[in-house]
Chains A and B, each alone.
Chain A
């Protein structure tokens, strides 16, 4: 079985400050990890993924995430947040050989001007 935990329902930061959204996962094998973002009245948009290789993954809109196998974490980060980054963020995991994505409950990010 595979699962994802996003321990924070909400994250609030000031514009220009670093942003971190936490994610931990559980899989039976090696994980494929994903971050998606959801803006109001829109679908889930893919941000980035970890499949293999470098533990630091860079994605869209200046976001990056670090895969940490020992801590089973895949935290999303952005060095300098923008007001336009305010949205709902989902972490997802897929076990090798599987096709289903298992999502966390989501973290609402609010960036204040």
Chain B
């Protein structure tokens, strides 16, 4: 079956522009996560959705970052007034079970490489 998909795969933008990154999770997956991965580092948690409810946004760096999942499926991560320090790989993951379920296994998409000039 289809895995997690993300679009665009690559995004180059100028400082100060807004960007929207899309995640399409595996069909039927309840939970959706966003992570950010800097070069040479592992992914770091940004935010978590259980169905359409944003349960945790503690990892979002500041109020320029926001995310939504209005119908409990596709999610959008929006970065307003982008800065060069926002350049990174943004990864989305989904899981079948509610986040804290013991057998919750997160499946990752290919990521969006964001470059802010």
Residues of A within 8 A of B (CB): 4, 32, 34, 36, 41-46, 49, 51-52, 90, 92, 94, 96-106
Whether B31 pairs with A99 at a CB distance below 8 angstroms is yes
Bound CA–CA A58/B40 (angstroms): 27
CA gap between A34 and B45 in the complex, in Å: 15
Q: In the complex, identify which listed stretch (B12-20, B62-70, B73-81, B106-114) lies at the interface while the others stay far away.
A: B106-114
1/0 contact trace for B34-64 toward A, CB 8 Å?
0100001111110010000001100100000
> Hey, which chain A residues are within 8 Å of B42, CB to CB?
4, 90, 92, 103-106
Q: Is B99's beta carbon under 8 Å from chain A?
A: yes
Q: By the criterion of a CB under 8 Å from any partner CB, how many residues of chain B are at the interface?
A: 30
Q: Are B111 and A43 in contact (CB under 8 A)?
A: yes
A/B pair count, beta carbons within 8 Å: 64
Q: Contacts A43-B3, A43-B4, A44-B93 known; list 19 others, CB within 8 Å.
A: A34-B105, A42-B110, A43-B110, A44-B43, A46-B106, A46-B107, A51-B103, A52-B102, A90-B42, A90-B43, A92-B42, A96-B102, A99-B100, A100-B45, A100-B48, A102-B45, A103-B44, A105-B41, A106-B41
State the majority secondary structure of interface residues on B. loop
A45 nearest CB neighbor, chain B only = B108
